[in-house]
Amino acid sequence: MSKTINAFEMAQKQFDHVAELLNLDPEVAEVLRWPAREFSFRIPVRMDDGTLRVFQGYRVQHNDARGPNKGGIRFHPSETMDTVRALGTWMTWKCAVADIPLGGGKGGIIVDPATLSTAEKERLTRGWVQNMWRNIGPRQDVPAPDVGTTPQMMGWMMDEYSKLVGQYTPSTFTGKPLGGGGSLGRTEATGFGVIYTVREAMKHLGMDPKTSTAALQGFGNVSQYAAVGFVEILGGKVECVSCWDRNDRTSYTYSHPDGCDPRFLLTIVDQYGMIDKEKAEAAGYIREDGDAWISKDVDVLIPAALEGQVNGESIQKISDRVKIIAEGANGPTTPEADEVIKAKGIFNIPDFLCNAGGVTVSYFEGVQNDMNFYWSKEEVLEKLDQKMTTAFKAVLDMAESKNVYMRDAAYMVAIGRVVKAMELRGWV
């Protein structure tokens, strides 16, 4: 993310703009502009070499009017309180737009997880829970994975929490591994959810998915399954994917003359989304610089990495062919870039609608944990498709009836639902 962009300022700016459009009572707006609760804590961890290192941890609980706070924990070297605030705020809107009975939250630790051993990661994740366990739980706040965190880490966290409270409590964390309380379909959920919204957008725009092409930024969990879904669900072609290469400290864009084969790429990517460049090269993949993805001559752009990537500068490079920007990442587009997207008439599927598939299946995971009965993958994905399609239609209807940009429409739907819950509970 560029130095000049602060994600929380961006989240507040988006909110303020829609609060004005909605004529929202300024007192009510004041409740929603800031998270309700914020935790900042230090986690001492004994490293494998015997030294003690102290890590900075966070949890932000933005709003729980519609249900317990919900949202991932991010492990990233440039994590800040403001990014966690922004991400926690977006989670409130995401759960509301997906119409699942949960609020918004987010957590993080300032760390590059790829620099830790497995045992160090386990101690660090358990340390996060030792700080937070009194303030999380199935009826309070339910964390999940995000950038840099994995199902295995959720398994450790759930175990630590269960030990501390003295009873097996799987629904305190979602995104757990299969066989350890996880749900079938959770791995695919965010990426496939992105594709269900792209499918609906294509129907709306009269596009043929089978002749469509896409360029994706990132190759972590979201991008991986968005790529698989673009090929296998829509029948389209993935022109390129990009990824951060931590060995070279730079990012690359990978394309293939016949189109990318996402299933093959899944076999040569590590748990942090880094593609093995030698193996990619041996399979005929062409490597360009990391920004190349955004200038590709494609129908659909899917930014699925970090916030602020589609900004005033990078948006200038996009091809006239682009018809849809599907935001797999949280906060990938800056308000400045939004103006260009509007002016060019590109159809935007805003982040907290587009990537709501992950939290939706997290919700299904919690439901399955609580009833102690598990659904098949087909059942999970069918329920996910229904939720995503309904959410997309609600936002599109709002955009058309109020004649507003899709992001503003998504905010209108979400804010309306959260404000209604606050009113019904007598908070405002």
- Which residues have a catalytic role annotated? 106
Which residues partner with 341 through β-bridges?
Answer: none
- Residue 362 makes contact with ligand GLU by CB under 6 A: yes
Beta carbon of residue 94, minimum distance to ligand GLU (angstroms, whole number): 6
- Report residue 131: phi and psi, to 5°: -80, -35
Binding letters toward ligand GLU, positions 273-312, x by CB under 6 A: ----------------------------------------
Query: Cβ-closest residue to ligand GLU?
Result: 72
Does 187 contact ligand GLU by CB under 6 A?
no
Of 69, 150, 162, 174, which lies in the binding site for ligand GLU, with binding defined by CB under 6 A? 174
Contact 28, 422 (CB under 8 A): yes
CB of 7 to ligand GLU, least distance (A): 13
CB nearer to ligand GLU: give 193 or 236.
Answer: 193
Strand, coil or helix: 277: helix
175 is a site residue for ligand GLU (CB under 6 A): yes
* Complex with ligand GLU: residue 93 or 230, whichever CB lies closer: 93
Q: Which helix H or strand E contains 251, and what residues bound it?
A: strand 250-255
Q: What type of residue sits at position 23?
A: N
Among 1, 28, 86, 144, binds ligand GLU (CB under 6 A): 144
CA atoms of 419 and 1, how far apart (whole Å):
31
Rounded CA-CA distance 82/110 in Å is 12
- For residue 108, state whether it binds ligand GLU (rule: CB under 6 A): no
Positive or negative torsion for Cα 130, 136, 391, 17 = negative
Closer residue to ligand GLU (CB): 256 or 417: 417
- Of the candidate spans 13-21, 64-72, 212-220, 390-398, the one that interacts with ligand GLU by CB under 6 A turns out to be 64-72
Q: Which is nearer to ligand GLU, 146 or 408 (CB)?
A: 146
* Minimum separation from the CB atom of position 359 to ligand GLU (A): 4
Q: Is 330 in the site for ligand GLU (CB under 6 A)?
A: yes
CA distance 17 to 23: 10
Q: How many residues bind ligand GLU (CB under 6 A)?
A: 13
Based on CB atoms, which residue is closest to ligand GLU, 233 or 359? Answer: 359
Nearest to 94 by CA among 428, 360, 324: 360
Amino acid identity of residue 131, one-letter, is N
- What's the rounded Cα separation, in Å, for the pair 327 and 166? 40
Token pair recorded at residue 45 = 């961890």
Q: Is 348 in the site for ligand GLU (CB under 6 A)?
A: no
* Binding segment toward ligand GLU, per CB under 6 A, in 65-73, 157-165, 195-203, 268-276: 65-73
Distance (Å, rounded) from C-alpha 68 to C-alpha 70?
Answer: 6
Q: Nearer Cβ to ligand GLU, position 158 or 359?
A: 359
Task: Check residue 51 and report its DSSP letter.
Answer: -
Per rule CB under 6 A, is residue 146 in the interface with ligand GLU? yes
Report the residue number, 222 or 325, with the smaller CB distance to ligand GLU. Answer: 222
Residue nearer to ligand GLU on the CB measure, 98 or 238? 98
Smallest gap from residue 97 Cβ to ligand GLU (A): 11
Please name which of 339, 25, 385, 338 lies closest in space to residue 196, comparing C-alpha atoms.
Answer: 385
- Identify the CA nearest to 70 among candidates 81, 80, 59, 57: 59
> Minimal distance in Å, beta carbon 176 to ligand GLU?
11
DSSP 408: H
State the minimum distance, in angstroms, from the CB of residue 54 to ligand GLU.
25
Q: How many CB atoms lie within 10 A of CB 290?
A: 18
Shortest distance, position 426 Cβ to ligand GLU, whole Å: 27
Q: Assess 359 for contact with ligand GLU (CB under 6 A).
A: yes
- Rounded Cα distance between 344 and 411, Å, is 21
Pick the binder of ligand GLU from 35, 57, 68, 71 (CB under 6 A): 71
Q: What one-character DSSP code corresponds to residue 209?
A: G
How far from 163 is each of 46, 133, 141, 156, CA to CA, in Å? Answer: 20, 10, 17, 11
Out of 59, 62, 66, 70, point to the residue binding ligand GLU (CB under 6 A).
70
Q: Is 45 helix (H, G, I), strand (E, B) or coil?
A: strand
Name the percent of the chain in helix, strand, coil, to the closest 5. Answer: 50, 20, 30
88 binds ligand GLU (CB under 6 A): no
Contacts to ligand GLU by CB under 6 A: 70-72, 94, 144, 146, 174-175, 330, 355, 358-359, 362
